[in-house]
Amino acid sequence: MAQAQVTQTQLNQSQPIYNNNYGMPPTSSSDTSSSDTSANAIISTNKSKLAKTQLKVLPLHDNEYIQIQRYFLKGLPHARIHTIIKLQMPTKLVEAHEQYKKTLLNNPSYGSNMTTNNLISSMKSNNNLDKHTNTMFHGTKISCNPQRFINGNSNFCLFNCGMCGIIQNGNQGKYSRFNGRMWFANNSAISLGYCGLSTSRTMFNCTPFSSKNSLMAMFVVDVVSLQTSDIIIVDVDAATLPKYLILFEPGF
Do 203 and 187 sit in the same domain of this protein? Answer: yes
Do 31 and 57 sit in the same domain of this protein? Answer: no
At 22 the pLDDT is 35
- What whole-number percentage of the chain has pLDDT above 70? 65
Domain of residue 42: give its range.
Answer: 25-50
Position 221 in a domain:
yes
pLDDT band at 111 (very low <50, low <70, confident <90, very high): very low
pLDDT higher than 50, residue 113: no
pLDDT higher than 50, residue 116: no
| Residues 166, 44, 56, 229, Cα dihedral to 10° | -50
Do 117 and 95 sit in the same domain of this protein? Answer: yes
- 196-197 and 231-234 as β-strands: parallel, antiparallel, unpaired? unpaired
Position 101 in a domain:
yes
**CB-CB contact of 91 with 53 (8 Å):** no
Do 92 and 113 sit in the same domain of this protein? Answer: yes
What is the tens place of the pLDDT at every residue in 176-223? Answer: 878 889 999 999 999 999 898 765 544 444 444 444 557 899 999 999
pLDDT band at 129 (very low <50, low <70, confident <90, very high): confident
Taking the C-alpha atoms of residue 130 and residue 144, their distance in angstroms, rounded to an integer, is 34
71 to 41, 180, 226, 246: CA distances (angstroms): 40, 28, 22, 11
Position 1 in a domain:
no
Reduce the secondary structure of 65-121 to three states and give it as a string. HHHHHHHHHHHCCCCEEEEEEEEECCHHHHHHHHHHHHHHHCCCCCCCCCCHHHHHH
What is the tens place of the pLDDT at every residue in 60-101? Answer: 999 999 999 999 999 999 999 999 999 999 999 999 999 999
Do 95 and 206 sit in the same domain of this protein? Answer: yes
pLDDT higher than 80, residue 117: no
Count of domains in the chain?
Answer: 2
Helices 91-105 and 116-123, axial angle in degrees (round to 10): 170
Do 38 and 115 sit in the same domain of this protein? Answer: no
Position 199 in a domain:
yes
pLDDT higher than 60, residue 123: no
Do 158 and 174 sit in the same domain of this protein? Answer: yes
CATH of the domain at 236: 3.90.228.10
Position 2 in a domain:
no
Taking the C-alpha atoms of residue 111 and residue 32, their distance in angstroms, rounded to an integer, is 37
Q: What pTM did the predictor assign? A: 0.72
Do 212 and 120 sit in the same domain of this protein? Answer: yes
pLDDT higher than 90, residue 16: no
Average model confidence (pLDDT) for the chain?
A: 76
At 151 the pLDDT is 77
